[in-house]
Each structure stands twice: as C-alpha cells, then as structure tokens.
Amino acid sequence: MKIVSLCATEKKGVTYRLQEAFLEEFGDSAEITEFYFPKDCPAFCRGCTVCIRKDPNLCREAEYIQKIDKAMREADLLVFSSPAYVYHTTGAMKALLDHFAYRWMPHKPAAEMFGKRAVILTQCLGGGAKSTVKDIKDSLSWWGVSYIKTRSFKLMSEIEWDKLPDKKKTEMTKSVNALARKLLHIDYSKPAHAGLIAKGKFYAVRMLQTALGKENPEYTDFKYWKANGWLDTVRPWK
C-alpha cells in the first residue's frame, strides 16, 4: 500500500513524533512519501485563479502542487498532521490547502478522492486541536473524501516532547499506534464507501454545473464535469 503524509510543520517536535509513531506501525507493508511544509510548498496562493479558470499546470507553483496532487491521488491513505497555531492549522498547511482550492467539488475534484481514506492527527497545548482538525477536514470533505479518522491531543503541561511526562507520551503514542493498526488491516484494493455528505455535495454541484454549462458551454469546470461523464450517468465513486 501507498501512504502520503503531509506534516504542517518542519519541526521535529511533538507533531512529528506523533506522525512517526503512526507511520511506524505500517513497517515494510507501506511505501511512504512524506511532505513537510513550508519546505514542500513554499509559496502562498496568489489568488490568480488560473488553476480554476484555465489549467492547474499554469500555476506558478505547479511544480510543487502537481507533485503532491499526483502523490495524493495514487495513495491508499493520506495522513495529515498539524499542531494548533492560534487555534488553527499552521499557515504553512493553510497555504497548501489554498493551493488545492481547484480540487474542491465545485471545480475539478479528483475521482480518486471519493474512495480515499484519510487520517488527521493534531495536538495543542490547551485549546485549538479540534478546530485544527476542522481546517483540514473541510478541504478533505470538499475534495470528496468520506473516510476520515481523527485523533487530537492536549499536551497541557509542556510543548517540548522531551519534557513531556512519560505518561502523556505513552498515552498519545498508544492512541496513534492503535489507530494505525486499525488502518493497517483494511483491504485497500476496495475503495472506501462514499458517504451521503460527499454524494449530497456531488449532486448539488452537478445541478450547478448543468446550469452554468447552459449559460456558457466553454466554462472550464463545466467542461471538466462533462468530460468525466458526471453530468450523465458516470459517478466518481464505485
């Protein structure tokens, strides 16, 4: 199986330790590609919308974005990890998610995402880990992903891994290990079940694209939906 991990910080701190504890459980059974931000997506979205209006390959950061896009589409499991920075995901992760606006359902969602499995790991000192999950989950849901498992932790005492009480480190490590074991036993030859929320979004956008296409048949997103057969009987889920 293939795993793609996307870490919202380059720091080898608590977030990194939790991500690695999760990934370690897969041992040799997974081919893992790791991305760290901002290193692997160093520029903000500039809002030119060329990815939405024309072609994602015309984005000035396409060399970074398309590498990640391809890796995510080919992966069986996506693993996002993030600390809470002022109650949200880091600016580096937000910059990445902004670049993937073109993959939101009203634009050019990737069919593979409807059968994808994903995990979000977040932690904070005292508050904000859950809203950090939401920042990432909002994008995953609008990309079409239904199967999303989350684990959030509050460190409470200290933010440096080495200074955390052993009990806390063990509790967090055991929790992510257990989640990893659960995911390890999935049959990845079968796509995840596309849920009602993803399907509801799909059908709402399908109506929108049909209406937009009547007004302007050259509209890029309409053409993308039509080319995929989604305005006819084809569906992005199996």
Among 52, 78, 84, 148, binds ligand FMN (CB under 6 A): 84
Size of the site for ligand FMN (CB under 6 A): 18
Residue type, 188: Y
> Both tokens of residue 120?
């979000």
Q: What are phi and psi of 114, to 5 degrees?
A: -70, -20
Give 169-229 as a DSSP string: HHHHHHHHHHHHHHHHTS-TTSPPPP-HHHHHHHHHHHHHHHHHHHH-TT-HHHHHHHHTT
Residue 91 or 195: which CB sits closer to ligand FMN? 91
Under rule CB under 6 A, residue 159 binds ligand FMN: yes
Residue 161 or 237: which CB sits closer to ligand FMN? 161
Among 5, 15, 141, 209, binds ligand FMN (CB under 6 A): 15
With both helix axes pointing from N to C terminus, report the angle between 91-99 and 62-74 in degrees, rounded to the nearest 10: 80
Contact 236, 111 (CB under 8 A): yes
Helix (H) or strand (E) holding 38: none
Q: What are phi and psi of 73, to 5 degrees?
A: -65, -35
Tell me which residue of 179, 172, 81, 176 sits closest to 135, measured CA to CA.
Answer: 81
Residue 42 or 126: which CB sits closer to ligand FMN? 126
Segment near ligand FMN (CB under 6 A); pick from 6-14, 49-57, 187-195, 225-233:
6-14
Q: Site map for ligand FMN, 118-137, x if CB under 6 A?
A: -----xxxxxx---------
Output the smallest distance, CB 157 to ligand FMN, in A: 11
Q: Site map for ligand FMN, 17-56, x if CB under 6 A?
A: ----------------------------------------
Under rule CB under 6 A, residue 86 binds ligand FMN: yes
Residue numbers at the binding site for ligand FMN (CB under 6 A): 9, 11, 13-15, 83-87, 123-128, 155, 159
